Structure 1
Amino acid sequence: MAKYIGLMSGTSMDGVDAVLCDITHTSCNTLAAHSIPYPTELLSALNVLCSEGPDELNTFSIADRLVAEVFAQVTLELLEKSSLTASDITAIGSHGQTVRHHPNSDVLSAQFSNSSIRGFTCQLGDPNTIAVLTGIDVIADFRRKDIALGGQGAPLVPAFHNTVFASNHSHRALVNIGGIANISLLAPERDNVPPKGFDTGPGNTLMDQWISLHCNKPFDKDGAWAASGNPHNGLLQQLLLDKYFSLPAPKSTGREYFNIDWLSNTLADYFPSSAHLESEETDLNLAPQDVQATLLVLTGETIATEIKRHLPAKNADGDVSEVIVCGGGAFNKSLVKYLEDTLSHYRVSDSFTLGIHPQHVEGAAFAWLAHAYIHDIPGNVPEVTGASKPSVLGAMYKKT
């Protein structure tokens, strides 16, 4: 076995995770993990960079170095915590911090005609800086090869999920609920078929932004605020009309699409577009907690709908299919209860049942992608991303 560290910060930007793993071709054992938050100034800049604005290039370039310094800091603290040195680690797999994700060329530019615009994805966290500060080789820039091959560049975790978490007998869905939610659909190993997967839509991002706006809290602990409200069915149906939810896979999205502006626009459009609703459902004087409750159902419903559409409740032998929840959403008790109730014909649990903390699954995935790079193992799944072929992902940034 060889030791790798995976570095991850998701679209929620609630902290940088470093996950230490022992990895072989068929296993990935998590040994330790450590997390630290972004400094307030940097977090503010990263949030600004998620949408268009002035002084972007300078802000982007400075943040690129500062994010790398935070990634290096969490790595060094994890090594100290684990009584290890840089020489004990084969490589770091760094995801970076996504600030823009537009694989479908769905942007406008004053400098380019529509025919010249290309899809792209943008992650900050200069891997050269990480390598220099930690003294460890870094594998990074995992997404752009897949986009160059015509893919979405996301999600990249299904290859890892399939290698490490596929069951011998039952179907499994790995549901990662970060800022954005994505699912990996895993057939039993004996079927020998590739996994499927895609982003289902918003995970925590809308709920986090709404509670921040109204309660000045970074997230809804246990989903308690949502539980205090009542979901509004009319608003829910309006939100579900968004074209993203009906798009076929492969598909991916981010907080540059699902954000507080998206929600505000939907709320503003609700009245004139909802004449067909019952009169008692056209009153938009909702309490903020009712909107939060509706957003929770939106996340749960879009996940559950795709699972029921793509994952049989049982296999031919009668083995019940499993739904495994990971990411920060695994700790939202109200959201998990909604999934349990809505997916009552499935066995719903969290990734603790697979021996890994829900917050550490994505970090472990990028440790595994570093291992995959070094051993020439394709890290993407064309059936998931839409790329023209499987490919080894990433590039190496040497420590010296």
Structure 2
Amino acid sequence: MTNTPMSSHKQANYYIGLMSGTSADGIDLALVSFDENHKLTHHGSYYQAYSPEMTQKITALYCAQNNNSDNNEIDRAFSLDIELAKLFANAITAFLLQQQLCANDIIAIGNHGQTIRHRPLAKHAFTLQIGCCQTLATLTNIRVVGQFRRKDMALGGQGAPLVPAFHQTIFCEKLLNDNTAKANAMIDGSDVFVINIGGISNLTFLPASDNLDVIGYDTGTGNALMDDWFQFHHPSEKSLYDKNGTWAASGQVNADLLAQLLSDEYFQLIPPKSTGREYFNLAWLKQQLAKVKPVASQDVQATLNRFTATTIVNAIKQHSSGTKNITKVYLCGGGVHNKTLKDELNQQLIPQERKYEIFLTNQKDIDADQLEAIAFAWLAFAYDKKLLSNIPAVTGASKSCTLGCAFFP
């Protein structure tokens, strides 16, 4: 993959990937194209932050507040479905202007949407992403490919995580087509982990050994609990998160609270597994705090920071295949900007007998902040080319398939 500026000659073969993650901080857009060998080129990026009011509207829908009919949860959700689609359309219009392109230059928009509920273990499992694809297609006059999770769930999968199939195309050296490059890559024989630290953290394991399957799942919370706890104690702050992990760094890890957090049954489940902020949220955290002696607020933040790092590191250690070579760990997502979290990951991984090297995905020309938006552009491309875009070993689906549905202007 390469990252290049736009050429002066416009081509009608661009895809836009659109991502709004569980952190609910804003809209990420990525402009990409693919050559005849399916090689991906990233041409540009765009970010539009949500207003605090919009973030609150989204996060208020992550879990049912109560059973009172006055809550109007359905009305709020599907009103927001249209409101978000309009915001998405405005962002795409601004992005096209930035790139000096028009709607006719874009083959399709790959729209992940905004997840507001994910219940993979319910009796009748479901997932819900809003940001209406039909409205988006109509307003932009661009075909939209979206609802990527539903077919996987119809096949008995959890519909998440979806990015491991994309990770495999970029980070798995065993899939290189060029013989010389492949020979050089196989000399390395490294296990590769891709860790996306968003509101929820997810892991993709690309083993060096042909005898092991690609694995991917949600390791647990990423930034979500740290963001919620920070906002709870800093309601007047303009920032919605603990910038650089400064507040966490001012506290001390509480061993009893850490042990309580790690005792949650989610961490005992074997993959496939996925989760979301309807599970790991402020109400969950308060339940855990009620089970230990009182902890100072900054110490809770420090403990949450270690909690996120520990669940990620535990997952990495669990899956390393035993290769004698260095294991490569690529980080992406908003969590890469949290210095305290990155320091914690380094401290837990680097001193181990097994040698680990930690990189940002930028090392592979994938902007750490843009990976998921790029991934959904690839999923739209995969839909058009009828490529298999889920991995049953990751999601638990009964078979591989091409994900997504098309919506026309």
- TM-score, structure 2 as length reference: 0.88
User: Conserved in 1, the CA contact under 8 Å of 2:273 and 2:395?
Assistant: yes
Count of matched residue positions in the alignment of Structure 1 and Structure 2: 371
The reply to whether residue 47 of structure 1 matches residue 47 of structure 2 is no
1:38 maps to what in 2? 50
1:64 maps to what in 2? 81
Counterpart residue type for residue 217 of structure 2: F
Between stretches 70-79 and 88-97, larger displacement belongs to 70-79
The reply to whether residue 251 of structure 1 matches residue 260 of structure 2 is no
Counterpart residue type for residue 138 of structure 2: V
1:134 maps to what in 2? 140
RMSD of the alignment, in Å? 1.5
CA pair 137-194 structure 1, distance change in 2 beyond 3 A: farther
The reply to whether residue 384 of structure 1 matches residue 394 of structure 2 is yes
1:166-205 equivalences under 5 Å are 166-167=172-173, 168=185, 169-188=189-208, 191=210, 194-205=213-224
1:1-400 equivalences under 5 Å are 2-24=13-35, 26-53=38-65, 54-105=71-122, 117-167=123-173, 168=185, 169-188=189-208, 191=210, 194-216=213-235, 217-270=239-292, 284-312=293-321, 315=323, 318-344=324-350, 345-399=355-409
- Secondary structure of the residue aligned to 1:32 is strand
Q: What's the CA shift string for 1:309-335, capped at 9, x where partnerless?
A: 1024x63xx431100000000111111
- Secondary structure of the residue aligned to 2:60 is helix
Q: What's the CA shift string for 1:67-110, capped at 9, x where partnerless?
A: 111111111111111111111111110000000000110xxxxx
1:45 CA drift (Å): 2.0
Counterpart-to-counterpart distance in 2, 1:84 and 1:43 = 29
1:50 CA drift (Å): 1.2
Counterpart residue type for residue 47 of structure 1: T
Counterpart-to-counterpart distance in 2, 1:266 and 1:41 = 28
Between stretches 245-254 and 76-85, larger displacement belongs to 76-85
Q: What's the CA shift string for 1:231-252, capped at 9, x where partnerless?
A: 0111101110000011000000
Counterpart-to-counterpart distance in 2, 1:299 and 1:39 = 26
Counterpart residue type for residue 392 of structure 2: P
- Secondary structure of the residue aligned to 2:291 is helix
1:194 CA drift (Å): 4.5
CA pair 194-32 structure 1, distance change in 2 beyond 3 A: farther
CA pair 194-78 structure 1, distance change in 2 beyond 3 A: farther
User: Conserved in 1, the CA contact under 8 Å of 2:196 and 2:203?
Assistant: yes
Q: What's the CA shift string for 1:288-326, capped at 9, x where partnerless?
A: 1110000000000000001011024x63xx431100000
User: Conserved in 1, the CA contact under 8 Å of 2:156 and 2:397?
Assistant: yes
User: Conserved in 2, the CA contact under 8 Å of 1:26 and 1:163?
Assistant: no
Counterpart-to-counterpart distance in 2, 1:140 and 1:31 = 21
1:279 maps to what in 2? none
Identical aligned pairs, as a percentage? 44
Counterpart-to-counterpart distance in 2, 1:364 and 1:141 = 16
Q: What's the CA shift string for 1:179-199, capped at 9, x where partnerless?
A: 0000000124x8386521100
Counterpart-to-counterpart distance in 1, 2:42 and 2:88 = 18
Counterpart residue type for residue 331 of structure 2: V
1:41 CA drift (Å): 3.7
1:352 CA drift (Å): 1.4
- Secondary structure of the residue aligned to 1:359 is coil
2:176 maps to what in 1? none
CA pair 393-154 structure 1, distance change in 2 beyond 3 A: same
- TM-score, structure 1 as length reference: 0.90
- Secondary structure of the residue aligned to 2:278 is coil
Counterpart-to-counterpart distance in 1, 2:165 and 2:347 = 29
Counterpart-to-counterpart distance in 2, 1:103 and 1:232 = 32
Counterpart residue type for residue 69 of structure 1: K
| Runs (4+) off by over 6 Å | none
User: Conserved in 1, the CA contact under 8 Å of 2:15 and 2:110?
Assistant: yes
Counterpart residue type for residue 150 of structure 1: G
1:26 CA drift (Å): 4.2
Counterpart residue type for residue 404 of structure 2: G
Between stretches 255-264 and 208-217, larger displacement belongs to 208-217
